[in-house]
Structure 1
């Protein structure tokens, strides 16, 4: 039996390239709070870092409906958009929860509507890997090759690791976005609160600063004194409203 021998140096290089990809992806998404911005960074980094991949896209569904599409090349964005129909490798990956691979779209029969459009755009090979983000969002990362038979088992492993890592990072992005939104709602309610609102008004007048900055000053004082925010606000309002001795 003639078994293919793998060069250990090549195998190590693949591991190092994948580790570099995951490290770059983490650095690119670690501080992002916007989901669409995170998707754009994800497809750009994956396109640039994975050898043999000419384009990268991402298809996202929120509660079963199209929730977002990102593409490293705007010309190919329609290939990742499920509004054009469920006939695609991305939809197969999402629905079956397994990787969809076609090394040569010229021999592909599974996606009769999608494949001709892809080939017209220059796509000759594709890997779509399912991505689990959280309870509300699932998706697929789609790697495209511009020539047939470029995508191999190494690309499948990279796509699997990329999908797992991307899911964790995107979940963190959505969690940060939720917390930022909740903080914004909390700030709005505090600004309308009686004594806290009055205290904010006092600080705004004294410092000539906007309401958000005044609230930050009030919070900082509460933290430094280790007393509730409302109590700090009450003390401030009481101090400035106290009649001065003539």
Structure 2
């Protein structure tokens, strides 16, 4: 491995930690990651572009790219369910297409890559354990490919990326759980307030008030929270309410 490539790999871990901490969400992290990795493999003979694709259980695939071209090529593979990136993820192996004009396995993808000025494609899997599947995709311009040393550098970078990406995925799940909880608490607050309104209007206990709300929800075929929100809005003039747990 050349000195510049070794420095790139050595400096990747610390920079990726900073990226995880500074990124607002997974998509932003993947985009910054792709740009960082592309810079590491680009050279005077041609600019390499990069994309990172993550497949998660029960969620749509997430893609981050350092350029629109790389993003479009990744999205095409995700939609088709096939291509170098998909093969690298599903087979857990590095896939190298040295010349897209001679590639017969993924003809539509290869034509799309050639049309966008990409001559070679390198896809490297990322080990995420049980977090899902992921791969790095590197695209080199026409007339340029990837040397054995550059392929090794990409594989080493994929190993460096593994832990920060798993961390980003876990942080994302925690954010989703937080948002779901906040939404649930806000819904609960609106429903509780509506129960209070119905109790006052009908001079009935809480259980009976809740039953009336539920019957209204079923009769109108709308969610219970929406029925409650309409009642609260009629009294308070707004449904933009903060729960007791909001800071």
TM-score (norm 1): 0.66
- Selected match of 1:79 from 73, 80, 98: 73
Q: Are 2:77 and 1:57 equivalent residues in the alignment?
A: no
Q: Deviations over 1:203-244 (max 9, x none)?
A: xxxxxxx9699866xxxxxxxxxxxxxxxxxxxxxxxxxxxx
Partners of 2:244 and 2:10 in 1: CA distance: 41
Cα distance, 1:72–1:167 mapped onto 2, change above 3 Å: same
Q: Which secondary structure state, in structure 1, belongs to the residue aligned with residue 117 of structure 2? A: coil
Alignment correspondent of 1:164: 159
The list of structure 1 runs, each at least 4 consecutive aligned residues, that deviate by more than 4 angstroms after superposition, is: 183-193, 210-216
Q: Which secondary structure state, in structure 2, belongs to the residue aligned with residue 109 of structure 1? A: coil
Over the residues paired in the alignment, what is the CA RMSD in angstroms?
3.0
Alignment correspondent of 1:7: none
Q: Deviations over 1:150-194 (max 9, x none)?
A: 30112211211222222211111122223334445566778879x
Alignment correspondent of 2:33: 42
1:211-230 aligned at under 5 Å gives the runs none
Q: Are 2:83 and 1:92 equivalent residues in the alignment?
A: no
Q: Deviations over 1:110-156 (max 9, x none)?
A: 22221011001000011101123352421111011013343011221
Alignment correspondent of 2:96: 101
Partners of 1:163 and 1:93 in 2: CA distance: 12
Contact 1:33 1:176 in 2 (8 A): no
Cα distance, 1:185–1:125 mapped onto 2, change above 3 Å: closer
User: Unmatched 5+ residue regions in structure 1?
Assistant: 1-9, 194-209, 217-246
Partners of 1:151 and 1:31 in 2: CA distance: 31
TM-score (norm 2): 0.65
Q: Are 2:183 and 1:177 equivalent residues in the alignment?
A: no
1:1-16 aligned at under 5 Å gives the runs 11-16=2-7
Number of aligned residues: 192
Partners of 1:183 and 1:87 in 2: CA distance: 34
Alignment correspondent of 1:153: 148
Q: Which secondary structure state, in structure 2, belongs to the residue aligned with residue 135 of structure 1? A: helix
Contact 1:57 1:143 in 2 (8 A): yes
